[in-house]
Structure formats: structure tokens, C-alpha cells
Amino acid sequence: MRKNALKALLKSGGAAVGSWISVGHPVIGEVMGLAGFDWLLLDMEHGILGLEAVQTLVQAIQLTPATPLVRVPWNEPVIVKQVLETGAMGLLFPQVNSAEEAMAAVRSASFPPRGIRGIGSGRGTGYGAWFDEYLQRAGEELLIGVQIEHVTALQNVRDILAVDGIDFVFIGANDLSASMGLLGQPKHPRVLEAIQQVLAAARECGVAVGLNASDPDDAELRIAEGFKFIEIGQNKKLLSKIRRELCGRIRRNMPPEGGS
């Protein structure tokens, strides 16, 4: 049975840097997995990824040093069960606004008696090769994260992060700012204050906390502040940025050689 190196790193207090993948081709998983990221998160909430694409990407990423995680589209127990059977090593649940919703996420991802996850023999069990061990130890190796991205979640943040089984929290600054009446202003002072509120609560509860970093300098600043789960370079945005920079540097109206 596979060990979850990312969970061990976070539990030891180390910082982990990763990125989002939202396009379902295994080459993307391999390229990004070999780039030096600690984790890669497959985005089923906003990305164009179905279950088959998720499994293909998980297979590709597990051939690299990175740990494959999945952001599920919602806390729907059937989807959670199917995603875990692909062999994903962690889950991120969006829009968790209360302790009850955090508990429901843990239940969806856990076998009885802790949870309601059904028992299958998919890729997570090695197609049965380590079935018995998986039933006993799946919970030990699985990372469970929740997103704080609404003012209601902010009000309940300590109760959410105190839920047994929550390993990390990710701050969705764009949605959080929108819910605060500050659409498109994730750097607004009120949003930055809210981010620090989540960081303080996570420290109290012993939960790793993460957010998006704009560049390597920003990532290092955030790590120094105490953030342990840093996202940088989402695949589509990174590709778009690089291509726009390349195209923007080309002067298309150059005078002909030898011309006036």
C-alpha cells in the first residue's frame, strides 16, 4: 500500500508547494509532477475533468515525486467514493461553511464506523492486491482538506478546523472576497485580515493552512508567515501567462531588411 509522503510532511510541520491541474491529459500530470512540486491537485470543481481523466492523471502523477490530490465538485458521497477508488491520496472539499459540513466531508471519505464510504476493490486497493491493509489504513494515509471561501465559514472557522479528521484548510480568497461584497478584490485589507484570522485559527487547531501565491517571492513570504500548503502556477493560467508574454514581445510591424 502506498505511503502518503505529503501527509507525513505536513504532519511534521513542513511546507509543501503544489499546483492545480484542470485539463485531463496524463502528459500534463507527468510534466508538472517532474517539475518539483510536492503535490498536484486535480480540479473537478472548476476544471474539465471527469472520473476517467482523474484516474489517468493520478496514475501519471504517481510515477513522479508529487502526491496526487483531487478537489471534488461537492461533498457528494458517491463522487467521493469513486474518486478515492482511483488511488487519489487526498481530497479537498469546496465551500465548507460549518462544522457539520466538515464532519460530513470526513464521513464521506471514511469507512465505517467513522464514516459511510462504501467498500470497493478499485485502484486504491491495488485492485485487491493490498485490500485488507487498505481497509485498515486508508484513513491514516488519506489527506482531507476543506476550503474556507465564504464569510459564513469565516465566522465558524475554529469549529470547522477543530473537526477530527481535517488535515488542512485552503483559503479561497476570490470567493471569500466576493462573499464579503468585494468581488474581484482578493487583496482588499478586509480580505487580508480574514486570511490572517484563518491562519490564527489553523495554528490553534494544529491544521496546515494554505492559499495561492502569485510568484516564488510571494510563496516564500507566505511560508515565513506560517502557511504550509502553497499553490502556485495553475496549469491553464501558467500556460496563458507564458504564451501572452511571448507573443507580447514580438514586434509584428518590423520594417523590411534594408528598407527605410
pLDDT digits (tens), the chain, 260 positions: 999 999 999 999 999 999 999 999 999 999 999 999 999 999 999 989 999 999 999 999 999 999 999 999 999 999 999 999 999 999 999 999 999 999 999 999 999 999 999 999 999 999 999 999 999 999 999 999 999 999 999 999 999 999 999 999 999 999 999 999 999 999 999 999 999 999 999 999 999 999 999 999 999 999 999 999 999 977 677 777 777 888 888 888 877 776 65
Give dist(CA 238, CA 240) in Å, integer: 5
In a domain, 71, yes or no: yes
In a domain, 202, yes or no: no
Burial of 19: CB neighbours in 10 Å, binned 0-12, 13-18, 19+? buried
In a domain, 131, yes or no: yes
Specify the pLDDT at position 259: 60
The H-assigned helical ranges of the chain are 5-11, 26-33, 51-61, 77-84, 99-109, 131-141, 151-155, 157-161, 173-179, 189-205, 216-225, 235-248
| Count of beta carbons in the 10 Å neighbourhood of residue 4 | 19
Question: pTM for this one?
Answer: 0.92
Cβ–Cβ under 8 Å, residues 92 and 41: yes
b/e string for 37-70 if b means 16 or more Cβ within 10 A? Answer: bbbbbbbbbebebeeebbbbbbbbbbebebbbbb
First to last CA, the chain: 71
Specify the pLDDT at position 12: 96
Crossing angle for the helix pair 51-61 and 26-33, to the nearest 10 degrees: 30
Which residues contact residue 71 at a Cβ distance below 8 angstroms, ignoring those fewer than 6 apart? 20, 41, 42, 43, 44, 45, 91, 92, 93, 94
The three cell numbers locating residue 133: 491493509
Cβ–Cβ under 8 Å, residues 84 and 117: yes
Specify the pLDDT at position 15: 98
In a domain, 183, yes or no: no
Specify the pLDDT at position 59: 97
Q: Prior bond to 68 cis, omega within 30?
A: no
Q: Cell 484563518, residue?
A: 198
Report the CATH number at residue 65.
3.20.20.60
Domains identified in the chain, total number: 1
User: Amino acid letter at 216?
Assistant: P
Specify the pLDDT at position 248: 87
Supply the residues annotated as catalytic. 46
In a domain, 189, yes or no: no
Residue 105 domain boundaries: 5-145+208-248
The C-alpha angle 14, 27, 126, rounded to 5 degrees, equals: 70
The three cell numbers locating residue 14: 513542513
In a domain, 116, yes or no: yes
DSSP state at residue 158: H
In a domain, 254, yes or no: no
In a domain, 188, yes or no: no
